[in-house]
Amino acid sequence: MNKRTPMAAKQPTQRNNSRRANRKRSLGRKMVAPARARINRSEMKGTKATPEAANRLFSDRANGTNGRNGAPSKSVPPLTFQQSRIALEQANQRYVDLFDFAPIGYVTFDRVGRIEEINFEAIRLLDRSRRQLVGLTFAICVAAENVDRFLVHLSKCRSSKGPVLTELRLRRMNRETFPVLLSSTATSALMKDGARLYQTAIIDLTQRKRSEQALREKEAELELIVTQTPFMLTRCSRDLRYRYVSRAYAKMVGQRPEQLAGKSIAEILGPEGMAAIRPYIERVLSGETVSYEMLVPFKEAGAHYLSAAYVPDKNERGEIVGWFASMSDISERKRAEEKIAEAARQQASLYRLAQSWQNAKSLDDVYAAALDAITSALHTDRASILLYDGEQVMRFVAWRGLSAKYRKAVEGHSPWKPGTKNPQPVCISDVNHAELPKSLKAVTRAEEIRGAAFIPLVIEGKLAGKFMMYHRVPHLFTDAELDLAMTIARQLAQAIEHEKDQEALRERERELARELQDQKQLQKISSQLITQQKIETIYTQIVEATATLLRSDCCSMQMVLPKTGELLLLAQKGFVPGSANGWQRITRKGGTSCAEAFRRGERVIVPDLQRCRFVKENDLILYRKSGIRSVQSTPLFSRAGELVGMISNHWRNVHEPSKRELRLLDVLARQAADLIESKRADDEVRESEARMRATVEQATAGVARSDVDGRIIFANQKLCEMLGYTESELIGKTIGDVTHPDDSKENIGLFRQLIRDGKPFEMEKRYVRKDGSILWGHVSVSPARDATGKITSAVAVAVDVTARKEAEAELQRSNELLERRVRERTRELRKTNAQLESEIQRRKGLEGEILSVSDREQQRLGQELHDGLCQHLTAVAFMTRSIALRLRDHRVIDAADIEKVAELVNTAAVDTRNLSRALHRVDVDAAGLIVALQDLVDREIWRTPCRLEVKPSFQINDDAAAAHLYRIAREAVINANKHAKARQIVVRLERVRKEMMLRVIDDGVGFPKDLNPQQGLGFHIMNYRAQLIAGRLEIDSPQTGGTRVSCYWPVDGPRSRKSPNGDQSAAGMRKYSNSRVFPSDSTLQHLAPQGAANA
């Protein structure tokens, strides 16, 4: 409590001021409310009709401005107060007339349900006068059994933002009740200080209830009629819900009619049933009468064959509101028809199977026809045929709908042993309950197989294979299905046996034809090889001829390199592009068939590479990449018995060449070896010479040959390009003609020594090009001798090193620049290191100062408690003890002493409150900043008078910024009281241009010249808080004396969102302290939390 203004004296004055202020506000509202009611429709066009919009329009009209852009209004002149009042009274009267004579009852009640306004229709419905109703609680008009429902409605109105609807019964004066619908919407009353009211429409439901009762009676009559008919009837609405259901239909779906009424059709039929009948629903809703017969699945009642007819249901306006459906369950009839159709389908499948086998041209055709018959007659979409191979392993020969992974996993599995006589079918109705190995069961489940049957195929009384049929769901195989499957199996076995005999006969005929064709082909190939002169063409023709003779997919030919002992690929045919690159060179240690034949010196045949032992993994990968499964390699020997090459054939399937094919290959191999040997000997000399010349001409270095006098007699194209001469211009020039004068003497001396002693030399010299430019070259010169060993010429090889020389020069310059930069950087690092050490010392000092401040504050608080509050309370205790002694001894109490004790206790309470304010952290938001600052300057603990000045231009919306500003002002006021020795302290809030400003001014001693305020902890804490709100802090001493602490922050600074519990300042502190870094004073980042707490 403030001593200067006792609470007892303040209370009457405050009540009087409050009454006067309320009368002024009431008078102002009465004057403004009618004026606000006059809202021109043209001005409110495009604006939502809200109280805020009306207030804004009224304010704009009063100020003579346009509410949309704030510009002065030119079209509508400002109205006088008298004109506004008359117009608004007229508008108000029109609104009252519309409200009172509305055809629907309207009533307005407050938060507790008390009626504020009511129109004539509502008065008629309630059968009471307006005087009786206004001010009466609306619950009085509610039937007794619905009072609780009305209270719930009223509670929803208080919490809901939209309309609240409730059906209940109201009571008239004669205690008659009637049904109504209440629709309440919350609004604010401008004439009642914004009090919350609820505008409620009362809709009489009496006629609708009577119509509903009549409808129910009609439906009961119709139900009585419908229950006597054998058909199922339903009535459905456009939103796909049952409006009526006959007992027969309800019995079919397993529910009662009253349970189905109002339910969604999709809920009864399920997704599949809805998908089946949706097309017919769409047609009947478009006005068409439809009928159908089909199997309709129900969600819980199973599937039923229905014969149904849909007729549109129209209202009195002719609009289609749903449909009538009459249905009959024809499931039994359909089952009988399906059995007859099934038997006919099986007979047709067997007939087609016999016809297909008669027209089959291969086993694949037989398998395909059998699979068609199995899937068609036995109602499955997946089937397979497996036969024993030469190794007595059952393997897939044909299938439908099975993955490669499944086929690989189950291949070889059979419920019967090889050679079993009279095997019987094996059926698995449910894989999950079958006794199968875990791995096989897992693969079968992954293939979505739940039911399967194994049907044996018997040829000549022995088990030859099986066919299988699969089902995705558990399936119980009937005797009829197994009999049909065995019939198909017997016919399939006969067809396979017959087709194999036919295939063997056709194969023998093809073999004889191939034998004749091969002989003709071999003769033709031999003639072509003899007449061909180009060795590369001979290689290609040999490869093509070998591939033709052995009918291989790929073929390759290698030549033996005598020097390296390797096989070099000469020609190939049929390989995947790039796959033969790994076999360009093959050594004896390789893992291919060629290397194996090279080591053995004889033919190597590999029918299946997957089972070959000597093929290495890397080579097997190359074979797979090329799609090769089998291979043969045949060595090529010359007449002298020398191995000159290798020829290989490759097949993409498991294959082994016949003896006839190998005989033909041997003939071709002998001819090929002879031709290769003779052609290779003839071409070796020509190739060697051409290779040498090509090497010299295509060399990347310049090559020249000179005689013993140093005159150039040969120069390749590269040297001519290097020096810019043509070959004819360069030949005949001497070494000195193309050498730089500074290098010519050394070069000539070394050349003469080479001719005299035969010693090669190397040097780097400068050439003079034809255009006069300089070219650096690295030259290597060697002597050339004749058959007697005499030096007849010299060969020089020159490489252009101009770029390297330029790079070396550039590197030298870069090294010099780098050394200079390193020296500069070293100086900068020394300087930075010194700054860093200074910063470290500064941080240590700040940390010590924080601890010192904490100790001083604790000492100050202890001293204030001891010297002030403790002494005060001791005096109170003495006086109380004295009063107690007088009361005990003399039975006398002095009222003055009691008042003195009360005054001392009040003083102690004030001191304690002031001390707690200093210790307690106040959370200040934007709305309470000015009040908090006023409380700060009004405290009695200050030795220097303080006052607060707030300019009208000042405003703040950021709660976190307000909290920081309060603490900055508090710190500045405390410092001024402690150190300024001022006569007064002023806290000022105002706007300066585009910034807001907080300034604390005192007229005290100011700062000494030798004292820097920025070195103190208080300044750093205040500066840190200013940075958190994107502001700046300034401290100066004006020439007139005193100290001025100013904090500036932008007007449009960041705004923090208010949290629901109102703790904005703490949240703002956490947000900025965790996320923002201010490089101007990074030292405070780790000291900010402790410093802010001490402040």
Residue 282 has pLDDT above 70, yes or no: yes
Q: What is the pLDDT of residue 950?
A: 93
Would you say 473 and 451 are in contact if contact means Cβ atoms under 8 Å apart? yes
Percent of the chain at pLDDT > 70 equals 79
pLDDT tier for residue 43 given thresholds of 50, 70 and 90: very low
Rounded average pLDDT over 685-709: 74
Can you tell me the distance from the alpha carbon of 923 to that of 1062, in angstroms, rounded to the nearest whole number? 9
Q: What is the mean pLDDT of residues 17-38?
A: 42
What mean pLDDT value characterizes the chain?
A: 80
Residue 1055 predicted with pLDDT over 60 = no
Q: What is the pLDDT of residue 839?
A: 74
Going by pLDDT thresholds of 50, 70 and 90, the confidence category of residue 264 is very high
- At 769, the amino acid letter reads R
Question: Among the ranges 351-365, 466-480, 689-703, which has the highest mean pLDDT value?
Answer: 466-480
The count of other CB atoms within 10 Å of the CB of residue 7 is: 9
Cα–Cα distance between 106 and 572 in angstroms, integer?
Answer: 101
Instruction: Provide the pLDDT for residue 193.
Output: 64
User: Can you list the domains of the chain with their CATH numbers?
Assistant: 28-100 (no CATH), 101-204 (3.30.450.20), 209-336 (3.30.450.20), 347-507 (3.30.450.40), 538-694 (3.30.450.40), 699-800 (3.30.450.20), 921-1094 (3.30.565.10)
- Give the tens place of pLDDT for each residue, 401-426: 999 999 988 888 889 988 888 899 99
DSSP string across 378-434:
TT-SEEEEEEE-TTS-EEEEEEES--HHHHHHHTT--SS-TT-SS---EEES-GGGS
pLDDT at 985: 92
Q: How far apart are CA 249 and CA 328, in angstroms?
A: 9
Dihedral class, residue 565 (left if φ above 0, else alpha if ψ from -120 to 50, else beta): left
Residue 50 or 660, more confident: 660
Cα–Cα distance for residue pair 542/572, rounded to 1 Å: 10
Lowest average pLDDT, out of 121-135, 619-633, 873-887, goes to: 873-887
pLDDT of residue 914: 64
Residue 533 token pair: 């002169």
Handedness of CA 520, 524, 527, 530 (dihedral sign): negative
In the prediction, which pLDDT does 2 show?
39
Higher-pLDDT residue of 966, 1080: 966
Q: Of all residues in the chain, what percent are helix, strand and coil, respectively (each to 5)?
A: 50, 20, 25
For residue 734, list its beta bridge partners: 711
CA-only gyration radius of the chain, Å: 56
Quote the pLDDT of residue 635. Answer: 92
Model confidence band, residue 495 (pLDDT cutoffs 50, 70, 90) = confident
Mean pLDDT for the stretch of residues 240-261: 89
Q: Report the candidate in 523, 1028, 1095 with the shortest Cα–Cα distance to residue 853.
A: 1095
What's residue 1010's pLDDT?
A: 64
The pLDDT value given to residue 1072: 33
CA dihedral of residues 144, 149, 151, 156 (deg, nearest 10): -170
> What is the structure's pLDDT at 374?
82
pLDDT the model gives residue 1012: 65
pTM of the model: 0.28
The C-alpha atoms of residue 1066 and residue 1071 are separated, in whole angstroms, by 9
Mean of the pLDDT values across residues 798-823?
Answer: 86
| Mean pLDDT on 977-984 | 85
Confidence of residue 884 (pLDDT cuts 50, 70, 90): confident
The whole-number average pLDDT for the span 28-49 is 39
* Greater pLDDT, 192 or 669: 669
SS3 940: coil
- Asked if pLDDT for residue 56 goes beyond 80, the answer is no
- The pLDDT score that the predictor gives to residue 358 is 63
H helix or E strand, kind and range, residue 503: helix 479-531
Residue range 920-929, pLDDT digits in tens: 545 688 888 9
Q: Say yes or no to pLDDT of 30 above 60.
A: no
* Angle subtended at Cα 962 by Cα 960 and Cα 964, rounded to the nearest 5 degrees: 75
Report the 10 Å Cβ neighbour count for 72: 8
Predicted local distance difference test score (pLDDT) of residue 194: 66
Residue 751: its H or E element = helix 741-757
- Least confident range from 444-453, 537-546, 911-920: namely 911-920
- State pLDDT tens for residues 986-1001: 999 999 888 999 999 9
Q: How many helices (H) and strands (E) does the chain have?
A: 31, 31
* Residue 132 confidence class, pLDDT cut points 50, 70, 90: confident
pLDDT in tens, 156-211: 998 888 899 999 999 998 889 999 999 999 887 655 566 788 889 999 888 888 88
pLDDT for position 838: 79
Query: What single-letter DSSP state applies at residue 583?
Result: G
Tokens of 70: 């704030």
Residue 573 contacts by C-beta under 8 Å, 6 or more apart in sequence?
Answer: 540, 543, 544, 547, 554, 555, 556
How many CB atoms are closer than 10 A to CB 661?
Answer: 19
Q: Which residue in the block uniquely carries the two structure tokens 């707030």?
A: 950
Lowest mean pLDDT among 238-252, 479-493, 587-601: 479-493
Q: What's the average model confidence in pLDDT over 492-511?
A: 79
Q: What is the pLDDT of residue 103?
A: 84
What is the amino acid identity at position 633?
Answer: S
Which amino acid is present at 1001? Answer: I
Alpha-carbon distance of 954 to 965, in angstroms, equals 13
So what's the pLDDT on residue 10?
38
pLDDT at residue number 288: 94
Instruction: Report which of residues 55 and 293 the model is more confident about.
Output: 293
Residues 6 or more apart whose CB falls under 8 angstroms from that of 491 comprise 350, 353, 354, 357
pLDDT for residue 66 is more than 70: no
- What pLDDT is attached to residue 831? 86
